[in-house]
Amino acid sequence: MRKINIFETTLRDGEQSAGVNLNFTEKLEIAYQLERLGVDIIEAGFPAASKGDFNSVQEIARKIKNSSVTGLARAVKGDIDAAWDSLKIGAEPRLHTFIATSPIHREYKLKMTKQQVIEKSVEMVKYGAARFPIVQWSAEDASRTELDYLAEIVEAVIQAGAKVINIPDTVGYAAPIEYGNIFRYLREHVPSIDKVSLSAHCHDDLGMATANSLAAIEGGATQVEGTINGIGERAGNVALEEVAMALYIRKDFYQAKSDLVLNEIKRTSDLVSRLTGMQVPANKAIIGANAYAHESGIHQDGMLKEKTTYEIISPELVGVSSNSLVLGKHSGRHAFKERLQELNFSVTDEEMNSLFVQFKELADNKKTMTDEDIVALVLEEKAADLSFYELTSLQISHGTHQTATATVTLKKGDHEEIQEAATGAGSVEALYNTLERCLGCEVNLQDYRIQSVGGGMDALAQVFVKIDYNGVETSGRGLDQDVLEASAKAYLNAVNRVIIMRELEEKAVLQ
């Protein structure tokens, strides 16, 4: 069977989703999980975009050994230099450079002629190939580019040293038969096409990203680019778990396979969902909460007689387990540590001590601690590293016909304590008005979401917020059994992200 390389871009294209703001620790946690998932290439970011992006890409390249790490670069020498400086320490550094090729982009965005775009592409591919062992070149908006011109520029960049040619459906415009035919056309009309791997990169604006990606494979593509859970700009990218499972379940038809570790899919999906704050719809294919639920009497009858009547994918195949090991307040340190290792979390002794204390405190109040609870607890502990402002205490007074009042005490830095009170139309508004007073500046709340971790009356509450703090858009999350404490933690987590990032940027400037 043909091997299809999986190019994973959750950390670059996925992070461009509106409202998503991953910090360094979160990006590294996702990168480790992508490596366990078995992706071939991890696009870790856009190194030239910011110092923070550069540092994240560099550290991921340093730590990841079983996947090739790449970074995005425009057809600009400065971008390529930044990509090389951040990636050169990696096990297999590769460059991903792009330029738009469609008439609408050439005329309105680039203001360049066809020939100028070819010359710039050739120049930058040669520049990148002098450093990188693998250069991938992308024709932005390829699906709306004239086919004869696309073939001409692809041949030119192959001659210049490109090893991978990416044909993006940048705005999700193509229909599957059209998109597949682009790959067939290139294979027939580009003389040097056998020297390169062809890659598909599909967006989901018309809901056809998975169909288009599979059509590209039928047309000769040997690499598919996408994200976990299909996150990304606008309507998102192709969901890689859908492509991988389609290839596996219908190997008889596609005669192609990926090397993804399929039973790591659900764990990867859950991690990305929690860290980005983008909840997976219950009816989402492969990893949605309802993907393996059967309510119809006819379906249930069929399932009881023979599972394959209505279930083409077994839940266990993608890592969905109904028999999670349950820990409780009587569980010891050893059992807790073993469970962390089974969940693929690597923690220091100091983190372990802190986590175990929190685990015991929660277990005293909850009947059971499931895998979901433990994962949420670990991620919350890692998020707590950003703690310029820390919640010390809060008190909320609210009644049906009373004005809600909140009193909050924060610890600022190592020593200073701040206490304020304020009112609001409801408990959360009173709480956030009080926190705004504590911070001494205007904070604009743009989004507030809450979801439970697990089920039951004692489920943990996870709150996600998006705010504008001092002119910077940021997001944060908080976890607690109490909804209001989780709300306060999420708000402070968002603020702390901005403060810590500014401190890091200032240090970088001084160095």
Instruction: Identify the residue whose tokens are 């890091």.
Output: 504
Q: How many CB atoms lie within 10 A of CB 88?
A: 12
The conformation of residue 203, written as its DSSP 8-state character, comes to: B
**% pLDDT > 70, the chain:** 94
Point out the domain boundary residue: 383, 403, 418: 383
* Whether residue 206 sits in one domain with residue 178: yes
pLDDT tier, 37 (very low <50, low <70, confident <90, very high otherwise): very high
* Cα 418 from Cα 439, distance rounded (Å): 9
* Whether residue 435 sits in one domain with residue 362: no
List, for residues 302-357, the tens digit of each pLDDT value.
545 676 787 899 999 999 875 445 677 777 888 888 888 888 787 888 888 888 88
The alpha carbon dihedral of 177, 165, 208, 247 has a sign of positive
**Whether residue 509 has pLDDT greater than 60:** no
CB burial readout 293-323, b (16+ within 10 A) else e: ebeeeeeeebbeeeeeeeeebeeeebbbeee
Point out the domain boundary residue: 253, 276, 299: 276
pLDDT tier, 377 (very low <50, low <70, confident <90, very high otherwise): confident
**Whether residue 507 has pLDDT greater than 70:** no
Q: Point out which residues pair with 466 in neighbouring strands.
A: 447, 475
Domain contains 296: no
Average pLDDT over residues 238-265: 98
Domain contains 286: no
Predicted pLDDT of residue 323: 47
Contact yes or no for 476/465 (Cβ under 8 A): yes
**Helix or strand (DSSP H, E) at 183:** helix 176-189
Instruction: Identify the residue whose tokens are 């169909």.
Output: 211
Predicted pLDDT of residue 264: 96
Annotated binding site for Mn(2+): which residue ranges? 13, 201, 203, 237
Contacts of 308 (CB under 8 A, 6+ apart): none
* Whether residue 76 sits in one domain with residue 184: yes
**Whether residue 419 has pLDDT greater than 50:** yes
- Rounded to an integer, what is the distance from CA 298 to the centroid of its chain? 38
Domain, as residue range, for 367: 333-383
Contact yes or no for 228/11 (Cβ under 8 A): no
Domain contains 44: yes
The phi, psi pair for 246, rounded to 5°, reads -60, -45
The conformation of residue 401, written as its DSSP 8-state character, comes to: T
- CATH code, domain carrying 404: 3.30.160.270
Closest CA to 74 of 117, 31, 107, 15: 117
* Whether residue 376 sits in one domain with residue 390: no
* Tokens encoding 112: 């360049």
Domain contains 200: yes
Domain contains 73: yes
* Whether residue 501 sits in one domain with residue 379: no
Q: Which of 31-40, 111-120, 161-170, 276-285 has the lowest mean pLDDT?
A: 276-285
Contact yes or no for 276/383 (Cβ under 8 A): no
* Whether residue 478 sits in one domain with residue 337: no
Annotated binding site: which residue ranges? 13, 201, 203, 237
* Whether residue 412 sits in one domain with residue 350: no
* Whether residue 210 sits in one domain with residue 115: yes
* Tokens encoding 7: 């190019």
Where does residue 383 fall: left (phi above 0), alpha (psi -120 to 50 degrees), or beta otherwise? alpha
Q: How many domains does the chain have?
A: 3
* Cα 499 from Cα 511, distance rounded (Å): 19
**Whether residue 191 has pLDDT greater than 70:** yes
- CATH code, domain carrying 228: 3.20.20.70
Predicted pLDDT of residue 157: 98
* Whether residue 448 sits in one domain with residue 376: no
* Whether residue 26 sits in one domain with residue 51: yes
pTM > 0.75: yes or no: yes
Domain contains 309: no
**% pLDDT > 90, the chain:** 71
Predicted pLDDT of residue 93: 96
* Whether residue 21 sits in one domain with residue 105: yes
Domain contains 300: no
Contacts of 501 (CB under 8 A, 6+ apart): 23, 52
Domain contains 142: yes
* Cα 179 from Cα 213, distance rounded (Å): 8
* Whether residue 416 sits in one domain with residue 347: no
Predicted pLDDT of residue 409: 97
Closest CA to 258 of 232, 221, 215: 221
* Cα 181 from Cα 143, distance rounded (Å): 10
